[in-house]
Amino acid sequence: MSIKEDLELLLRLQILDYDRGELERSKEYIPDMMENLRREIDENEANFRNTEKELSEAKISQKSLEIDIATKQDELKKLQSQMMAIKTNKEYDALVSQIDVVKEFLNEKETTLLEVIEKIELLDGKIVEFRKKSLEIRKQNEDQLSILQEKMNSVGTKIKIKDDDRNNITVRVPKRIMSIYERVRKSRGGSVVVAVKKRACGACFKALPPHRIQELKRADQLIACDNCGRLLIWQNGESE
């Protein structure tokens, strides 16, 4: 087999190696993506539950305030009804003082009640929004989780197929050339064999001298770029 054919096999091999590397990386980033999707579901459902709890507490507070106000209003009516029976200034002053305390209490409670009612109205709107958002995100994310789980389940099978394809190629490439390929791949990563582009290395773009171009065209020996060390290949129609 010629050097050109060996290089063509190495081109196929580096595509396989890249694809296999992506599959290996997917085993790391797919679980992270899935965890983020689950976390988003949990966070939105927690927002809904917290708002629901806050609304429930506000309604309990409303009832309690209404009871307190009704009780004090009854007390105020009784105190006011006693005004007709007062005979001395001392009794009058004492009763007025009691009435003032009750009125102040009522003012504070009524102000608080208005704030609670406004809060309930706000929470009623929020809870509808959070419920809708929570349901939408759950459906959307569960669909994505299903797709990602399928991908995760198939990674092992796809890697096995790539390994088999890789073995079918490596057994056809001379050991000396495979050793060079593995060494360059380890030191440079990614592309090992690169096509000449505009009479320069397709990886680092270092211009090649005319005699090197002629050697590449003959394709009777392995030629590495003097600058980056990658293996060069001349491909007719793409290299000029």
Region(s) of the chain under CATH 1.10.287.1490: 19-155
CATH architecture of 19-155: Orthogonal Bundle (1.10)
List the beta bridge partners of residue 200. Answer: 197, 207
The Cα-based distances of 132 to 11, 137, 139 in angstroms read 52, 9, 11
Longest CA pairwise span in the chain (Å): 129
pLDDT digits over 167-210, tens only?
A: 999 999 999 999 999 999 999 877 999 999 999 999 999 999 99
Distance CA 240, CA 237 (A): 7
pLDDT digits over 129-151, tens only?
A: 999 999 999 999 999 999 999 99
Look up residue 174 and give its DSSP letter: -
pLDDT digits over 68-106, tens only?
A: 999 999 999 999 999 888 889 999 999 999 999 999 999
Q: What phi and psi, each to the nearest 5 degrees, are found at residue 196?
A: -75, 130
- How many CB atoms sit inside 10 A of residue 238's CB? 11
pLDDT digits over 2-15, tens only?
A: 899 999 999 999 99
The Cα-based distances of 227 to 4, 203, 209, 218, 232 in angstroms read 21, 10, 13, 21, 12
The string of DSSP codes covering 113-132 is: HHHHHHHHHHHHHHHHHHHH
pTM over 0.75: no
